Chains A and B, each alone.
Chain A
C-alpha cells in the first residue's frame, strides 16, 4: 500500500471555501436553492459546505439533506450480497428548487445517475447541479460531469481516492491509495 496525500490541512479548507464562493456566485442568498449530500460519504461534504455557507451568509437559510441511492443502483443482484441502505433525510420541498447534489468523489458517474433517479421521487427540481470534491478524470462509465470541482485527479482503476473528515475521521485529508504489487 502506498499513500499519497493530495490535499490536507489549510489547503483543504481553502478548497471548501472556494467551492462555497463559487456556489454563492450562482445561487445568491440560497432562497431558492438546496444542498443534497449523496449517501454514504457525500453527506459530510454537504454538511461542511452548509456550515461554511451559514458562516458567510448568516442571514440566509441554508437547507441541506441526505439522499440514499441504494434502491436505485444499477448493480443490484450483480454483487454477492444485497446492498445496505442508508437513511434519506430531506425535510424540505425540492419541487421548483435549484438542487446542488454533492458527493466526495466523482469516478464512474454511476452513483450520480442513480442519485438523479432517486431525486425524482421527491419532485421536479428547476435545476440540478453537481459538486464533487474530487473529480477522477478519464474514468467515467457514464456521461456525467460536475459543475463545481474541488480538485481533479488523474488515477488508474486499481487506485482508490479516500476522503477523511475532521468530524468523523479526526482530520480533513484526501489520499490517493495505490496497491503495491509484490514481485
Chain B
C-alpha cells in the first residue's frame, strides 16, 4: 500500500476518496487495539510530536495526546497562553525553535485560517491541522464520517444535514468536503445570516426550516453557536435561535423515521440541542469521541510511515 497522497494533513481538501478510505480501514484496526486490555502499540516509538495549541481545546487536544501516546510517540504539549508567543515571537520562530529540539510532527490549532498551510511551507516537519480558524478541522470531519459509516455501514448515499453556525464553523466546511468526497448528500440548515452566501457552490442544499431538514435527512449534525467568533449580532437572541433551530425530543419524536444525532462538542445543552436528545439512544455523540482517538491514531500512523 502506498501512503496518503499528502505529506501533511492540512485539510480534507487535500485528500482524495482513496486516502479517506485508507484512513478508515487503518482506524478500524486501531479501534480493535483500543478495546484490548493493553491499548498501546510501539509503532511510533522513534517519533516525537509537538501539540501546539494557540486556541483553547479540551477534546481535540486530549484525543490527539492519547492517540500519540497509544502509538508510543514522545509527546510535548504547548499552549500559547503560557508561552513566548505572548512576548511577541512569530509563528515560524516559535515552531522552528520547537523543531530545533528534534520534533518530527506538529499538531497545531490556530485561530487564523490557513495557519497550518503557511507553516507547512516554511518549516521542515509534518503538520497536522487540529483546526485553523473558521477554515478546516479535518480530523473532526474524518471521525464524523467514520461514525456514520459505523452506524450505517456506508456513507455513500446517506443524507446528512449540518445545522447551526455554518459561517463560523471549520467543522462544517471539513464535514461538507469529506461527506461529498464519500458520496453522501449534504444539506446545511440555519438562520440566513449564518449560512455563507455561496455555500451552494460546494454542492450542498440549503434549508432554513429545521423540521423540513430533519424530515429529509438520515443524520443531523448539530453545531454549536460560536459566540466567541461572532463580532456582530447574527440573530436577535439565543432563545430565539433555540426556538427556531434547537433540536428537542418533541421534534425528534414527531418525525416519521428515526434519525441519528451527532454533535462535535462542546455541547451547549438547551441551546442547539436539549439534554434528553443529547443523551438519547439516537445520539452517537460519545461514539464520535471514542472514534476520534482511533481516527487520529490512523492519521498519525499513515503520515509518520511515509517520512523517513
Contact = CB atoms under 8 A, between A and B. Distances in A.
Interface of A: 68, 70-72, 76-88, 117, 120-123
Given A72-B42, A77-B46, A82 B36 contact: no
A79 B2 CA distance: 10
Contacts of A79: 305, 308
Interface of B: 1-3, 25-26, 29, 32-33, 36-38, 40-44, 46-47, 71, 301-302, 304-308
Given A82-B302, A85-B29, 15 more contacts: A71-B29, A71-B33, A72-B42, A77-B308, A79-B305, A80-B308, A81-B3, A82-B304, A82-B306, A83-B305, A85-B25, A120-B38, A121-B33, A121-B41, A123-B37
Contacts of A71: 29, 33, 41-43, 71, 301
A81 B2 contact: yes
8 closest pairs, A vs B, by CB? Answer: A82-B305, A71-B41, A121-B38, A85-B29, A84-B1, A81-B3, A71-B43, A81-B2
Contacts of A70: 29
Contacts of B1: 81-84
**Chain A interface main SS type:** loop
B14 to A, nearest CB: 17
Contacts of A81: 1-3, 305-306
Contacts of B42: 71-72, 117
Nearest to A122: B36
B15 to A, nearest CB: 15
Contact of B29 (A78, A80, A87): A87
A54 to B, nearest CB: 26
Contacts of A72: 41-43
A79 B305 CA distance: 8
B30 to A, nearest CB: 8
